[in-house]
Structures are given as structure tokens and as C-alpha cells.
Amino acid sequence: MADIQGKVVVITGASSGIGAVTAKELAKQGAVVVLGARRKDRLDALVSEIEAAGGKALAVACDVVKRADLEALVAAGVKAFGKIDVIVNNAGIMPLSPLSELRVEEWEQTIDVNVKGVLYGIAAALPVFEKQGSGHFVNISSVAGIRAFPMAAVYCGSKWAVGAITETLRQECVGKNIRTTVILPGAFETELGNTITHKETAEQMGHFMQVAQPPQAIAEAIAYAIGQPAGVAVNELVVRPAAQFV
């Protein structure tokens, strides 16, 4: 049996895509979910849906580029439920373009959300986990974290960084009863493509996404990692559509 019942799970980027589907899946399996995203109206609707199905959820407006927001998100979970067991650092953006376009502002946004957002989540949760003597970080990377692609240099770099940060955190947490997992999704149906403003790249991504699958598979991968016995850590999972070549 999965060890999920009663766990308090914080999820960033929970207003859509992988985050929203994961919230519903974990709540269905008995977790209490603390949901963070900028779009509070969507979070409130998701909380209502989860509660109508018999689950427990809390919504907190949160922008992961603001360290104080991550601290407030984690603190809200602790205040409401007395602990947090897991943080899923899921929020991300993907404004792809060739480097020659010099879209430096988009590069900076990518680093702020995809790298600093994960680091801020770690900074908020790690002291809580250390005080509790237990905890679990689940960081969402991408197949772009193990493969490099044209038009995706900064995105790939950000996702490689997530993998490196997670592995280093794993090593530093050995003996502390704190687990780490990095999930590397392939082409799944999310709103990431909406952040691509470069026309030619958006068109190519549209072709790539023809093999995309619903994000339920990623939610179940996250649940699998969280649900392992306390002495078992699933450190890395790559999940692709079967039809995806790269």
C-alpha cells in the first residue's frame, strides 16, 4: 500500500497542468494538499473540487520568484496542519527561442522561475524538515534536463540545474531522514507552450507536442515516489510518452 494517507503535501504551480492534476491525485489517495500559484481564483476552484470529492486542501497565493511567498506557503501549511511532509517544486516556464534572438529578459525569467523558484522552495521547507526529522523534496525537471535541444538552451540549462541541485541535496541529506526525488517529464499536456513567444519555435513545439499525453501519468509518478516506505527513496524518474523519440 502507498504511504500517502495523511501526508501534508505542498505543491507549487498548482493552478494548472501537472500541479493541478497531482493535487487531485494525491488528495484522492488521502493526502492533505497545500496549493500555491499566482492565480488564486483557479486555486480556490481546485480546492472546492477536492473538498467536494471528500479531500482536504488549502489555497495560498504564491509567486515562486519571491522567496517570501514560498516561506509563507510553507508556513501556511504548518500552521493549518501542524507539519508538512512533502514539497513538490513544480512551477515552471518554457519561453523557448534561439540564443541569437537575445531574448535576455526571457532567459532571466526562466532562471528566476525554474531555478530560483526551486531553491526558494528548498530554503522554505528544509528548516521545517530538519526540525521535524523527516521530509521529502520532489523537484520537477524535464527530459530537457538530460538532453539538449536547439532553441532550448536556457530552458535546458535550468532543468539540468534542477537535477544537479536535487542530487546535491540528496547527498547532503543522507542520514537526516529527508528524501529527494527529481521527476523528468517528456511531452505532456500543460500550459508551458503558452510561454513561447518566438513564432517559429512555437510552431516547431506544436509539432513536437502532437505526441503529448495527459499529465495524469506524472501525477501518478509523483504519488509513487511519495508513497514509498520511509526507508526507500525513488531519486529519479524519467516519464515520456511511448511515442516520443527524444
Residue 238 lies in a domain: no
What pLDDT score was predicted for residue 196? 86
* pLDDT tens string 111-166: 999 999 999 999 999 999 999 999 999 999 999 999 999 999 999 999 999 999 99
Residue 49 lies in a domain: yes
Please state the rounded mean pLDDT for residues 92-116: 96
Residue 132 lies in a domain: yes
Find the domain containing 65 and state its range. Answer: 8-233
What pLDDT score was predicted for residue 205? 75
Residue 32 lies in a domain: yes
Residue 95 lies in a domain: yes
Annotation marks residue 155 as catalytic:
yes
What pLDDT score was predicted for residue 200? 86
What pLDDT score was predicted for residue 170? 98
* pLDDT tens string 12-69: 999 999 999 999 999 999 999 999 999 999 999 999 999 999 999 999 999 999 999 9
Active-site annotation holder among 107, 120, 129, 155: 155
Residue 242 lies in a domain: no
Residue 2 lies in a domain: no
Residue 1 lies in a domain: no
Q: What does pLDDT average to over the chain? A: 95
Model confidence at 189, pLDDT cuts 50, 70, 90, reads: confident
Instruction: Report the number of distinct structural domains present in the chain.
Output: 1
Model confidence at 167, pLDDT cuts 50, 70, 90, reads: very high
Residues 6+ apart with CB under 8 A from 29: 2, 4, 5, 223, 227
- CATH number, domain with residue 42: 3.40.50.720
* pLDDT tens string 218-239: 999 999 999 999 999 999 999 9
